[in-house]
Amino acid sequence: MKNYDLIIIGAGTSGAYLAQRMARRGHKVLVIEQLSRAKVGTKYDIFHIERREFDRLDIPRPVEGDPAWAFEFEKNYNADPLTLYPKCQTNPIVGLHMHEYTLLLCDRAEETGAEIKFGCAFEDFLYDDSGKICGVTAKQRGRQVSFGARIVADCSGMAAVGRLKLPDGYGVENTPLTDEDMFYVILRYVTIKNPEDYLDGSTFWAAYKAWIAPCADPHGAIIGIGACHSFEYAEQIYAEMESVVPLPEHEVVRIERGRTPYTRNVYSMVADNFFVSGDAGNLTKSVNGEGVTSAMVQLKLGTEVLDRALKLGDTSRKAMWAVNRYYNMTQGAEFAMLRALLVGVVNAVNFDEFQYVFESGIISDELLNALSGQSVPPQALLAAAKGFVTGIAKKKLRTSTIKAAVLALKNAVEIMTHYKRFPETEDGFGQWCAKADEIYEKIGKIK
Ligand SMILES: Cc1cc2nc3c(=O)[nH]c(=O)nc-3n(C[C@H](O)[C@H](O)[C@H](O)COP(=O)(O)OP(=O)(O)OC[C@H]3O[C@@H](n4cnc5c(N)ncnc54)[C@H](O)[C@@H]3O)c2cc1C
């Protein structure tokens, strides 16, 4: 049996990125990917990366003419349902083809020394005499194959094939997501009929969790919607949205559907000789369910910790615990806080109130910047608070909505503070999880 330092399940963006980073540090890395090279990354076509992320994450930035490049835009509007008072933020975004970009990351990993076996599907873990993971079994061209590994990383996306195979109590949650924990996303690739309607950026309607954004065709667009529960439910909301939102006249060219985790990250991302990342660990952004770069933030941390563990010869959960601590205290805390706010506010606000918060300026550019991780100046918070008071006085906002917003803020602060107190070692983790579950129970799920 061939042995590796690290076996990665899945050659999506997360797996390929991790493979490259670990191979660069001199480790012997194998990626097993169930799909062929021709099929990897074809689950849908277009995805977005904020331009500033390429340098921060040290990932290749395709430019016009490259196979992975599709388009770029800078203007991002957030709009009320009737689209009368849109707020514009400038944040350069690059639209990329998922298949081509995944291949680019895979090529980079292979050039750095990682081995990728396409058409090789993970089946189960191998365990040593002490019950610790020491490799995998997989199916390749109908034959069962086995590989030894010091660490196995699950980057298998929403299927989370490794994490869900873990024995109970192994150290990472092994429960599957429910329909309430994922976004069913439907993308309509359309052509726009009237040239005056061609897009100069994207528009997001929080009231419907729907958006319209540029696509590779400058005369076209992608109209997207995301909803929990099912595709049928997402279509229902889409029909409602279409009857209200003034979308440009268009013709649908094709429709893509996909799912993305829309729930908290797994509390522990490491166990003895095991690591999980990407959609398999629910590392998507709480604002919109995007997950390519948010996973890479954790993978950057993960690389440092896994590298050190392998070099020191201790790949136990205890030795790799720093991934949990640093992730949960940083991006984890930020996502948890935003999730609590969004769930509380979006669930409470009705149609007229959505209109009012945009019209009155309660939703300001500064508040929207907070969604992309920037801090909110106190004047903006004060202005929002004044707007709420005026809204109640004018009977534009219901007292129940204000109460829900205040509660959401309280829950947001509580969960963020809790994440920032993530235990330094495994001791106290059980109590930490119990308390986090309790807060999440109060936060609830998005409707
Ligand atoms: C419609 C839609 C639009 C989105 N748009 C964006 C966006 O604009 N920006 C953004 O950042 N995110 C976006 N997301 C989310 C993003 O696609 C995911 O967060 C990201 O692709 C997750 O990457 P991953 O590598 O963790 O998982 P995946 O990309 O799912 O890769 C997992 C890989 O594991 C392989 N695998 C699975 N089971 C096995 C097995 N048994 N053996 C071996 N291999 C296996 C799969 O074949 C796959 O190649 C969108 C999601 C959807 C559904």
Find the CATH number of the domain harbouring 282: 3.50.50.60
**Other C-beta atoms lying within 10 Å of the C-beta of residue 177:** 16
Chosen domain end from 239, 261, 283? 261
327-336: average pLDDT: 96
Per-residue pLDDT of 209-258, as tens digits, reads 999 999 989 999 999 999 999 999 999 999 999 999 999 999 999 999 99
Q: Is 199 helix (H, G, I), strand (E, B) or coil?
A: coil
Same domain, 342 and 243: no
Residue 99 contacts residue 60 (beta carbons within 8 Å): no
Ligand 1: lining residues by beta carbon, under 6 Å: 9-15, 32-35, 40, 44, 47-48, 121-122, 155-157, 159, 161, 185, 187, 258-260, 278-279, 284, 290-293, 295
Same domain, 41 and 127: yes
Residue 122 contacts residue 32 (beta carbons within 8 Å): yes
Q: How many domains does the chain have?
A: 3
Same domain, 158 and 194: no
Which residue's alpha carbon is at the smallest distance from atom 1 of ligand 1? 258
The reply to whether 391 falls in a domain is yes
Please report the pLDDT score of residue 358 as a whole number: 87
* CA–CA separation, 312 and 182 (whole Å): 38
* CA–CA separation, 182 and 180 (whole Å): 6
Chosen domain end from 211, 242, 261? 261
Same domain, 247 and 375: no
CA–centroid distance for 122 within its chain: 23
* Residue 378 CA, ligand 1 centroid: distance in Å: 38
Same domain, 151 and 221: no
Q: Is the pLDDT score of 356 beyond 80?
A: yes
Same domain, 122 and 32: yes
Sign of the alpha-carbon torsion through 41, 95, 284, 310: positive
Which residue's alpha carbon is at the smallest distance from atom 26 of ligand 1? 278
Same domain, 313 and 363: no
Closest atom of ligand 1 to 102 CA is 29
The reply to whether 77 falls in a domain is no
| Helix/strand/coil percent split, the chain, to 5 | 40, 25, 35
Same domain, 383 and 272: no
Instruction: Provide the percentage of residues in the chain whose pLDDT is more than 90.
Output: 82
Domain containing residue 190: CATH number? 3.30.9.10
Please report the pLDDT score of residue 118 as a whole number: 98
Same domain, 159 and 279: yes
Same domain, 113 and 246: no
- Ligand 1 pocket test: pick from 279, 288, 331 the residue with the most ligand atoms within 8 Å of its Cβ: 279
The reply to whether 418 falls in a domain is yes
Mark out the alpha helices in 27-141 (DSSP H runs). 53-57, 98-112
CA–centroid distance for 370 within its chain: 17
Tokens of 347: 């669930």
Q: What domain range includes position 25?
A: 2-61+98-175+266-320
* CA–CA separation, 158 and 177 (whole Å): 9
Which residue's alpha carbon is at the smallest distance from atom 33 of ligand 1? 10
- Ligand 1 pocket test: pick from 7, 8, 13, 177 the residue with the most ligand atoms within 8 Å of its Cβ: 13
The reply to whether 92 falls in a domain is no
* Residue 258 CA, ligand 1 centroid: distance in Å: 9
- Give one word for 318, left, alpha or beta, with left for phi > 0 and alpha for psi -120 to 50: alpha
The reply to whether 257 falls in a domain is yes
Please report the pLDDT score of residue 390 as a whole number: 87
Same domain, 253 and 298: no
Per-residue pLDDT of 110-168, as tens digits, reads 999 999 999 999 999 999 999 999 999 999 999 999 999 999 999 999 999 999 999 99
The reply to whether 51 falls in a domain is yes
* Residue 398 CA, ligand 1 centroid: distance in Å: 40
Backbone angles phi, psi at 395, to 5 degrees: 60, 30
Q: Is the pLDDT score of 371 beyond 70?
A: no
* Residue 51 CA, ligand 1 centroid: distance in Å: 20
The reply to whether 73 falls in a domain is no
Per-residue pLDDT of 54-108, as tens digits, reads 999 999 999 999 999 999 999 999 999 999 999 998 999 999 999 999 999 999 9
